[in-house]
Amino acid sequence: MNKILIVGEHDGAHLNPAVAKCVTCARGIPGGEITIALFGADTAAVAAQAAQLGGVHSVLRIDRAENAHPLAAILAPQVAALAAEHTHVFGPSTSFGKDLMPRVAALLGAPQVSDLMAVESAHRFRRPIYAGNAIITVEADPARKLVATVRVASFEAAGVGGSAAVASRSLDVALPSHTRYVGAKTAGTDRLDLQTAARVVSGGRALGSAENFQMLFRLADKIGAAVGASRAAVDAGYAANEMQVGQTGKIIAPEIYIAIGISGAIQHLTGIKDAKTIVAINKDGEAPIFEVADVGLVADLFQVVPEFERLVSA
């Protein structure tokens, strides 16, 4: 039997929406039994959320003061200990999962499939390489454990309605003291989350300044969208780093993605391939973004964005 352990990302209060996508991915594994492990100082609230996800067999709470902040060096030995009872260990392809899972894999001497995008069988998966320019099918040895990060844009969220058993677990694992959490500077705004928003407005180098970028925030607010950016816009300081979309930023799959003043470099496109509808506004009709856009408009953004904002109702 396949027993899949999902490391559940959370912030203490909310289960990260990526976890529900990992569950859908894990459900694709034939004959799988799914366990979600939650590490934290107090995971009661998030355990209740995890237990509701359809198809989950059990939820394990590993509450420990050292787990208050998700440090890979602290969590990895605990995940590896729990993995003894599992065939597969999955985490989301978020900065949390990307940081943690390879450390777990190495402790287990197991291979990792990064950005798993499709399950073909319990040991056969598809994943992108070369910024999504190629998709490989990989086969893992069934005799070994398999670690994977799940490309969240590739899976729908599992629905609620489940009622998995929740249990507390104490693990007898020595934890290192060589890594310490100091602090965080989070955007902490009430803006929509880029990774889960149904609509995203995104800006590139063409915006020219952080002030001009405000134009996009106004448009986004009007249509209920999250705001993203190209690497060039982030590097130039027009947008915050967590807004970067692409190969080395966030990979997203909104219903609609509106790219404004973005050329459409391959590294950017890999982040938006799964968007249902791509809209591009660019003054250069030859910009590569138009090759993937469902709806394109060749125009100066400074003229059309204010008009766009006027024409949509809140």
Ligand X SMILES: Cc1cc2nc3c(=O)[nH]c(=O)nc-3n(C[C@H](O)[C@H](O)[C@H](O)COP(=O)(O)OP(=O)(O)OC[C@H]3O[C@@H](n4cnc5c(N)ncnc54)[C@H](O)[C@@H]3O)c2cc1C
Residue 149 CB partners (closer than 8 Å, separation 6+): 90, 91, 92, 93, 97, 98, 101, 112, 113, 114, 115, 116
232 binds, among other proteins, ligand X, none (CB under 5 to 8 A by kind): ligand X
Binding mask 187-226 for other proteins (x = CB under 8 A): xx------x---x-----------------------x---
Closer CB to other proteins, 120 or 156, in the complex: 120
Chain centroid to Cα 146, Å, comes to 20
Say how many C-beta atoms besides its own lie within 10 A of residue 95's C-beta: 12
Please state the closest distance from residue 84 (CB atom) to other proteins, in A.
16
Chain centroid to Cα 131, Å, comes to 16
Closer CB to other proteins, 122 or 164, in the complex: 122
Beta bridge partners of 146: 88
In 52-94, which ranges are continuous DSSP H helix?
A: 72-82
32 binds, among ligand X, other proteins, none (CB under 5 to 8 A by kind): none
Site for other proteins in 69-88 (CB under 8 A): 71-73, 76
List the Cα angle 208/213/216 in 5-degree steps. Answer: 135
Please state the closest distance from residue 268 (CB atom) to ligand X, in A.
3
Please state the closest distance from residue 28 (CB atom) to ligand X, in A.
27
Site for other proteins contains 299 (CB under 8 A): yes
Closer CB to other proteins, 33 or 99, in the complex: 99
Binding mask 203-242 for ligand X (x = CB under 6 A): -xxx-----------------------xxxx---------
Closer CB to ligand X, 157 or 299, in the complex: 299
Closer CB to other proteins, 145 or 164, in the complex: 145
Q: Which of 39, 155, 213, 308 binds other proteins (CB under 8 A)?
A: 308
Site for other proteins contains 171 (CB under 8 A): no
Closer CB to ligand X, 126 or 205, in the complex: 205
Q: Which of 115, 238, 247, 256 binds ligand X (CB under 6 A)?
A: 247
Closer CB to ligand X, 130 or 181, in the complex: 130
Cα separations in angstroms, 12 against 28, 36, 152, 195, 227 = 28, 15, 20, 19, 25
287 binds, among ligand X, other proteins, none (CB under 5 to 8 A by kind): ligand X
Site for other proteins contains 44 (CB under 8 A): no
156 binds, among other proteins, ligand X, none (CB under 5 to 8 A by kind): none
Which secondary structure element, helix H or strand E, spans residue 5, and what is its range?
strand 2-7
Convert 30-54 to b/e letters by CB count within 10 Å (16 or more is b): eebbbbbbbbbeebeebbebbbbbb
DSSP secondary structure code for residue 203 in this structure: E
- Give me the amino acid identity at 5: L
Taken as a whole, the chain contains a residue count of 314
Binding mask 91-130 for other proteins (x = CB under 8 A): ---xxx-xxxxxxxxxx-xxxxxxx--------x---xxx
- Give me the amino acid identity at 181: Y
DSSP secondary structure code for residue 96 in this structure: H
Say how many C-beta atoms besides its own lie within 10 A of residue 182's C-beta: 5
Site for other proteins contains 313 (CB under 8 A): yes
